[in-house]
């Protein structure tokens, strides 16, 4: 079972090199990371997966973007969440692995219809730690509430969750222990955190057994 930070942004998207972020992730207890952007090398000591993020205004645009060569080379394809109709449609796109930025969507934009489809198709919803760490006041509480809502749906329908630091430097990366503490703020249990940290491995290696949630 690989423990994976579902997205980091090494240089030039961020401030730290991929090699430095990979080393930091290993020291923080991770077996692998998903690096968003161009990967020109494969540092030793930890598995590096390639991630691609699609920010689109419509379902049709997502379908067009997944055909881009850069996206097709990715191990994990993310799509930024949108409104309710967009989210219901995008979880049906074969090439999409993860819906992200759910904290920025309207409440109930990811509903029971999207949740059921995501569970049937094995599409994950990402929990980014960045808003929990970086936001304050009302914005932070809103993010925590969005995550609590998603967790409630996940417990009912069983779609995968991933957890990402969304770090753009080694200073923003967090240890597995810190991840557990941050996720506890919206009610996630230690077992649920462990399962979410292992979800990227199941998404990229579908032959592995998938945990079924009743």
Q: For the segment 20-67, what is each residue's pLDDT rounded down to a tens digit?
A: 999 999 999 999 999 998 777 777 678 999 999 999 999 999 999 999
Q: Residues in the chain, how many? A: 214
Q: For the segment 155-165, what is each residue's pLDDT rounded down to a tens digit?
A: 999 999 999 99
Whole-prediction pTM:
0.92
Per-residue model confidence (pLDDT) at position 211: 45
Per-residue model confidence (pLDDT) at position 206: 65
| Contact assessment for residue 129 and residue 166, using Cβ atoms and an 8 Å cutoff | yes
Per-residue model confidence (pLDDT) at position 38: 76
| Contact assessment for residue 208 and residue 202, using Cβ atoms and an 8 Å cutoff | yes
Q: List domains and CATH numbers for the chain.
A: 4-204 (3.20.20.140)
Closest CA to 35 of 48, 20, 19: 48
Question: How many angstroms separate the CA atoms of 199 and 195, rounded?
Answer: 6
Per-residue model confidence (pLDDT) at position 43: 72
| Contact assessment for residue 66 and residue 41, using Cβ atoms and an 8 Å cutoff | no
Per-residue model confidence (pLDDT) at position 149: 97
Low-confidence ranges of the chain (pLDDT < 70): 44, 206-214
The residue assigned the tokens 């161009």 is 38
């Amino acid at each position: 079972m690989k423990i994976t930070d579902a997205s980091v942004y090494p240089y030039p998207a961020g401030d730290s090199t991929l090699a430095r972020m990979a080393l930091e992730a290993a020291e923080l207890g991770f077996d692998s990371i998903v690096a968003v952007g161009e990967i020109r090398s494969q540092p030793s000591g930890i598995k590096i997966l390639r991630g691609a993020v699609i920010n689109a205004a419509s379902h049709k645009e997502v379908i067009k973007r997944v055909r881009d060569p850069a996206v097709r080379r990715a191990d994990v394809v993310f799509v930024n969440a949108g409104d309710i109709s967009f989210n219901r449609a995008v979880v049906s796109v074969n090439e999409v692995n993860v819906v992200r930025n759910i904290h920025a969507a309207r409440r109930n934009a990811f509903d029971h219809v999207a949740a059921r489809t995501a569970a049937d198709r094995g599409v994950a919803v990402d929990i980014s730690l960045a808003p929990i760490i970086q936001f304050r006041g009302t914005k932070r509480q809103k993010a925590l509430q969005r995550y609590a809502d998603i967790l409630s749906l996940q417990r009912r329908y069983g779609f995968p969750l991933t957890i990402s630091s969304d770090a753009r430097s080694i200073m923003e990366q967090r240890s597995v222990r810190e991840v557990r503490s941050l996720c506890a703020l919206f009610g996630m249990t230690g077992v649920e955190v462990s399962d979410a940290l292992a979800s990227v491995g199941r998404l990229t290696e579908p032959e592995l057994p998938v945990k079924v949630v009743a």
